Structure 1
Amino acid sequence: MTAQRHLSSRHKTILEVDGLRFRDLDADGALSPFEDWRLSPAERAADLVARMAPDEKIGLMVISSRPMGISQHNKDFTSHDGVLDEQHLPIKLDPHTSAGIPFEGTTEMIAEKHMRHFIMREEPTGARIATWINTMNEVAEQTRFGIPVVVAANSKNEAGGFKMGGTPEDQPFAQWPGTLGLAATGSLELIESFARHSRAEWMASGLRKGYMYMADVFTDPRWFRGHGTFGEDPRFVAAAIGTIVRAFQGEDGLEADGVALTTKHFPGGGARENGTDPHYAEGRFNIYPTEGSLEEYHLPPFQAVIDAGTASVMPYYAIPSAEKSATPQGRVTDFEQVGFAFNREILGLLRNMGHRGYINSDSGVLSKMAWGVEDLTTPERVGRAVMAGTDMFADTNDVASVREAYLAGEFTTQRLDEAAQLLLAELFALGLFENPYVDPERADEVVANAEAVAAAQEAHRRSVVLAKNHDATLPLAAADLSGKRVYLELFARDLRVKELDALRSRIAAAHPEVEFTTDYRGADVAIVLIAPFIGSYFEFVGIGDLAIDEHSHVDLEKVRRIRESVGILVVGLNAKFPWLLDGVEPLADALLIGFDTDWDAIVDAIFGAFSPSGRLPITFPISAEAVAIDTEGRCASPNDVPGFAKEQHMDGRPYVYVDADGNRYELGHGLGYEG
């Protein structure tokens, strides 16, 4: 007997057929195939697309950041008791047409532009997220076919993840280590726990689409986004990202209680030209100077997510450089010199690898980051991308250009229907046509719940890597510290005195057995915590210098003075890059490394609350010479090869950092207190 699906309707009526209930979304009093949840998502999508007008299909092909009503300061520009932002604003001119692209209010986007995909950038409470998404779905339910809204967000559950803005009322989801930190645990079981706990928070809040996670392999040590990867080992990255997809979406494909993932950034963003990034023109090329590197190192994680059934894949902005690459690269015989979202060859490879979901461009490919197609008009760019295989354009509401491209014949009706069917199939699979609503009160109960927070704290502990422990300096046991004073220092970008004071107070409260001092000149032991930082997400600021010093927001001279004043110096490093350690490590008796890991966990390890078990997910370079760039722009170590394998391509020159105790800081290195 067929089990009844749970339905929720606020405007459309419910039909009863064969003793079962269905939503009458087209309000015709009869059960249409797209309303019949007994059919497959693909069958339902095909039926609905056949009923839709071109404009209704076109609206599905964009996904736009959409501010919430709580972010609108003028409440006259809101609706539904301040929940929806309705302000209609002009935004900057299109450089190719000199025409202003309007930014409409929420209701206009849904009801008139037929948009159904939005990106949330704020970090509000779970209840506010749920109320906002529910309200948008009430608007959508009243349209001709009642097609539901789906809201996406960037990853929300890792410390140090990409976030825009912030308010005093923010309530973050449970904060786990960064993805490199998760990789440092080496545990697929823990990564699955991370994804399942996170999925529950997303589901409860009504967030059903994630722009996450990165299947990229971290091969150039200066890449600004490398800290968002799962490291440099293609096999582990593949296993981790496959585990993530199944845990978020469902073991056997996208489920009605799952979160659809858009896996990034095909065919891998790690092969940067000297660490530069395609968010700016200077970094617009992926380069593959090493024969077979694309196939050997960069594609395996994407095959894993395809096999796991990822809902969609996001191509990167970059152009694959034919000039600076060894070709052919496995199945790619000759690089087409356009960005990946416009690249028939690369998107054809993605389909040939078995991807059956939709292809979702990265943000801005129609405007700022239209690499390789800069001379085309915006509608021509749309057509080029759609005919290459792109189904959706990210972070734009430019429905007009998609419509113009279609009417001008830049892409075919067949491709329009293919894209619409793929996009709708996801909404059907998620069960949103049956029930697009969630309970706001339950959202606040689930977000950052005690069980998830406890699991996250355990993950922070397991992410700590003990890289150096000269003469068994650690752990600093209470008996060893009797009569001694401990000084705690922190170096980080934009650090405020009150933040350092708060950290010192918290650490002191957690370790009452330790006598702390705020003057290193009177201390016996010093713990120096450092979080170096360089680079910019959107702006070229020069080739990254991986030295740890003043330019990376660490007062190295002060670290040296502290070293001269104390008998024992312990350094805790939170790493976003594989930094050059030659300025810091020789000063330290012990060195611990985390990756967006809580400082509390690192300090707990220092005092012996647990024995560190983390292992390096990336390899640290031996010196500036190992990543130096010659006059022709070539790096001394290949940009497209992981750190653990670089020495195979360096004619006997070293790449791996070796500390004063002889420890090699390569993939998998990590010590413990047991031996």
Structure 2
Amino acid sequence: MAYQKKFNGYYTVVENDGGKTLGVMDAPVIEKDGFAFKDLAGTGELLPYEDWRLSPEERAKDLAARLSPEAVAGLTLFSSHQSVPAGGRFGGTYGGKPFDEAGVPAYELSDAQKKFIPEDGIRTVLLTDACDIETLARWNNNLQALAESSPFGIPVSLSSDPRHGARNPTGRQSKEVVTTSKWPQGMGLAATFRPEIVKEHAEIVAKEYRAMGITSALSPQIDLGTDPRWMRTRDTFGCHVKMSQDMARAYCDGIQTTEGSETGWGNGSINAMAKHWPGGGTGEGGRDAHYAYGKYAVYPGHNFDAHLSVFTEGAFKLDGPTKMAGAIMPYYTISTGIDPDENVGNAYSHYIIHDLLREKYGYEGVVCTDWGVTQHTEGEKLTAFAHASHGVETLPRPERILKAIMNGVDQFGGDNEVEPVMAAYSLGVEKYGEDTMKKRFAETAYRILLPLFRLGLFENPYLDPRESEKVIGKQEYVDLGFKRQTESIVMLKNKGNVLPLKKGTKVYIPDRTEKGKINFFGNLEEDRTFSPYDPDEIAPYFTVVDTPEEADVALVMMESPQSLGYNDDPRLGEMGYLPVSLQYRPYTATEAREESIGQGDYRETENPNRSYKGKTGVCYNERDLDNVLEMREKMGNKPVIALLTIANMTVPKEFEPYVDGLVIDFYIQRKAMYEILTGGAEPSGLLPFMMPADMETVETHCEDLPFDMTPYTDSEGHTYQFGYGMNWEGVIHDERNEKYNLENAQL
């Protein structure tokens, strides 16, 4: 016998001499040619899909042919958010009770998980929070054991949204207990102007993800961020076409490639899901398509091809052997005027998915919808979160699903129930015939199964938490991530070389105040006043004092202006469509379009025009500007330093003249900023976008065009254009500016 079995305390390890190592919970093991194989189908004989000596393509083809339509329908489901233990916003029970009342260990499977694995056939699960590494590993093993005991033993692919960011969009520190290394994200990586850092980041993400059992990443987000008002611009690599292409390529290569593998795929790989096809950064007026009020993407500058190119010349043309991103997510948007036949959400557009993605560009990987696109119910408000069946709201849900499937969509994000997919299948049999539907389902089954074989999940999906502990949050990764955070910081102004400051300098930091607002999930948050820093984190760097009079320097921590593009809550002021503002004071949109480009919704039959011309937008963090002005007055001739955390490009003219220093970051750890401020590291980041001169130039620009606005010039004569940044010597000009500049910014 050329293999050995041993129990490691969590699962049985079967080591094949000269072959693959297996991880087994309860499945029988059979021997052939002196090697061990899992008998996942329980037939007592080795089936091709169980034979690890065959290629992933051969195995996926064999298994896909064996699956019933019901089994394939289960594979099309990409679960809603799952936390360990279940609870919080997304709920969950154990024996019908909340976790706190159930008296079960945190690694126990929830009621929903015990159902959707064996009954609905879900095999792709979106993981959110996890309380600790031991618990996560044991939960993963329980989930995989349940899948292993189900027909054909198809393992689960755990998936994750990006989880290596240091601060979330509220400015609060990340509270996840399973703490990975922390890195700049999106725009922060772009501010380094170095694709090699993006690749390095992705390589470490892959290592930590695999140690958590995660094998599918809902990243990278590679939308070309051309509209400065879009709330997700901060997650992109900016609006420079070539740099975005290069960084998309670097990320996918880094996260997908297993070193030493001929194909690039292996036990160290993560399947990347590049998003959002064909580009989500052109929402009219900067509005976002999670909500029906923001469903229209527009292209007044006729620049659609540039947005596509980040995929076609970046994520689809990798330098490494995996060749292209393993999965694609279309955005919620209706790409207005692009589909010659209909204006519907991208997943529902035959032209966008079939004609362009599948046919013209030959994409063969998994296409997974964004979350909840099939789930709209009649009568939902325009502000409803993510139930974004844009353009097909009046179709019954099975018809929506069938339409997407026949376009070339394979998976449905956030869908947990198999019945609607089977209803769509039955409808398809009536409309197209059973042979056509079986063939179409077999294509989807193959695409979804292929990554599971490529990544080794059929051999071993289990975790040993002792090994995971050695990888997740490894000090080497933590230190490198922190270094890259400092390199993402951009210094815009340093009047009189006020920076760096000496350690121990006495500083005053005003509290921040945010007015009540509607959050990302559509819930009303009350007014809040809070301290923007952690006393323990800042203590090694500065002495924080109680009054401006005691201080040598004022540090004003602020965030870019935040506002809504639509309001249906009378408690928050003016109603209806509103301008998304990048200035702190109220902004009246005198230069906005008379007629919106995107029009049409069954809820807007009386007035389909979405123009907000003449209406006024207000920012819920307007108080940030007041803090700057008050500190300027109270500090007299003493320095005022603005520390601006950027979610969106900002109009600086309201506050820049009143500060001596201006340093921006992209939601990094505060202590990385303190390192820069005290000279522990030198600023080296560059603006991955421009800062607009005023809201009028923003309002008159084309949502799909980069760099068609007038940039801001500050009181020192520096223009806040793409590629601008300062170090201690002055304005930076190095090889990065030669590689990426305005001359090669567009197609």
| TM-score bracket relative to the smaller structure | 0.7 to 0.9
Task: Give yes or no for contact 1:548–1:579 (8 Å, CA) kept in 2.
Answer: no
Q: 290, 294, 314: which one pairs with 2:304? A: 294
Listed as ranges, the gaps of 5+ residues in structure 2 are 1-15, 97-101, 319-323, 376-386, 516-526, 569-576, 586-618, 731-747
Structure 1 residue corresponding to 2:476, chosen from 426, 437, 451: 451
Q: How does 1:201-600 map onto structure 2 within 5 Å? A: 201-250=208-257, 252-291=263-302, 293-308=303-318, 309-322=324-337, 334=340, 336-347=342-353, 348-351=355-358, 352-367=360-375, 368-409=387-428, 412-477=437-502, 485-489=506-510, 491=512, 493=514, 499-500=531-532, 503-511=534-542, 516-532=544-560, 534-535=562-563, 542-548=578-584, 551-566=620-635, 567=637, 568-600=639-671
Going from structure 1 to structure 2, the CA distance change for 1:117 and 1:215 (only over 3 Å counts) comes to same
Give the aligned residue type for 2:547.
D
Q: How many residues align?
A: 624
Residue in 1 that maps onto 2:155: 148
Contact 2:117 2:123 in 1 (8 A): yes
Does the CA-based 8 Å contact 1:161-1:228 persist in structure 2?
A: no
What is aligned with 1:35?
50
Q: What CA deviation, in whole Å up to 9, does each residue of 1:425-476 have, x standing for no partner?
A: 1111111111111112322332222111111110111011111122322223
Distance 1:451 1:321, change over 3 A: same
1:188 pairs with 2:257 = no
Q: What amino acid does structure 2 have at the position aligned with 1:342?
A: Y
Give the secondary-structure state (helix, strand or coil) at the position aligned to 2:630: helix
The structural deviation recorded for 1:537 is: 11
Residue 558 of structure 1 deviates from its aligned partner by 3.3
1:258-302, Cα deviation, whole Å (9 max, x unpaired): 1111111000001111101111112111111113x1113442344
Letter in 1 for 2:314: A
Q: 1:167 to 1:460 in 2, by over 3 A?
A: closer
Greater mean alpha carbon deviation, residues 661-670 or residues 531-540: 531-540
- One-letter code of the match for 1:300? V
2:85 aligned to 38, 46, 70, which one? 70
Map Cα deviations across residues 226-275 of structure 1 (whole Å, 9 max, x no partner): 11111111111111111111111116443232111111100000111110
Distance between the aligned counterparts of 1:590 and 1:82, measured in 2? 48
1:620 paired to 2:691: yes
2:673 paired residue among 568, 585, 602:
602
Structure 1 CA distance for aligned equivalents of residues 466 and 561 of structure 2:
39
CA contact (8 A) 1:254 1:311 kept: no
Distance 2:191 2:213 in 1: 31
Do 2:83 and 2:130's aligned partners in 1 also have CA atoms closer than 8 Å? no
Q: 2:341 and 2:167 mapped to 1: Cα distance?
A: 34
The alpha carbon displacement at 1:579 in A equals 1.0
CA contact (8 A) 1:183 1:617 kept: yes
- Distance in 2, Cα, partners of 1:283 & 1:69: 33
Deviations 1:627-674 (A, max 9, x none): 23xxxxxxx0111011x3x15xxxxxxx21111112111111001112
Separation of aligned partners in 1, 2:340 and 2:500: 55
2:725 alignment counterpart = 670
**Counterpart position of 1:329:** none
Change (3 A) 1:506 1:148: closer
Secondary structure at 1:262's aligned position in 2? Answer: strand
For 1:384, the aligned partner's letter is: K
Q: Which residue number in structure 1 is paired with residue 186 of structure 2?
A: 179
Distance 1:168 1:321 in 2: 39
Cα 1:172–1:531 change in 2 (3 A) is farther
Partner of 2:704: 640
Taking structure 1 as reference, are residues 459 and 230 closer, same or farther at Cα in structure 2, changes over 3 Å only?
Answer: same
Contact 1:68 1:132 in 2 (8 A): no
Tell me the distance in 2 between the aligned counterparts of 1:137 and 1:116: 9
Cross-structure match for 2:605: none
Of 446-455 and 263-272, more deviation after overlay is shown by: 446-455
CA contact (8 A) 2:81 2:414 kept: no
2:256, 2:270 within 8 Å by CA — same for their partners in 1? yes
The answer to whether residue 77 in structure 2 is matched with residue 22 in structure 1 is: no
Residue 591 (structure 1) shift: 0.9
Distance in 2 (alpha carbons) for counterparts of 1:591 and 1:298:
35
TM-fit CA distance, 1:85:
4.0
1:489 and 1:451, CA in 2 relative to 1: closer, same or farther beyond 3 A? farther
Structure 1 length normalisation: TM-score? 0.87
What one-letter code is carried by the residue in structure 2 that aligns with 1:487?
A: Y
Q: AA paired with 1:665?
A: Y
> CA–CA distance in 2 between the matches of 1:27 and 1:354?
37
* 8 Å contact kept, 1:160–1:178: no
Unaligned residue ranges in structure 1 (runs of 5+) = 88-104, 323-331, 629-635, 648-654
1 CA distance for matches of 2:163 and 2:33?
43
Separation in structure 1 between the aligned mates of residue 552 and residue 390 of structure 2, nearest angstrom = 56
Three-state SS of the structure 2 residue aligned to 1:158 is coil
Deviation at 1:121, TM superposition (A): 2.3
The alignment partner of 2:202 has SS state of: helix
Moved more, 382-391 or 526-535: 526-535
TM-score by length of 2: 0.79
Deviates more, 1:399-408 or 1:541-550: 541-550
Q: Does structure 2 retain, via aligned residues, the 8 Å contact 1:520–1:526?
A: yes
- Structure 1 SS opposite 2:95: helix
Q: 8 Å contact 2:160–2:217 — kept in the other structure?
A: yes
Q: Residue type of the partner of 1:518? A: D
CA distance in 1, matches of 2:108, 2:622: 40
Aligned-partner residue type, residue 291 of structure 2 = Y
Change (3 A) 1:374 1:253: farther
Offset of residue 496 of structure 1: 7.6
Partner of 2:733: none
Q: Residues 300-329 of structure 1, C-alpha deviation per residue, up to 9 Å, x if partnerless?
A: 34431122321100001111112xxxxxxx
Residue in 2 that maps onto 1:9: 24
Report the counterpart of residue 83 of structure 1 in structure 2.
107
Distance 1:290 1:169 in 2: 42
The 3-state SS of whatever aligns with 1:313 is: strand
Percent identity, please. Answer: 30
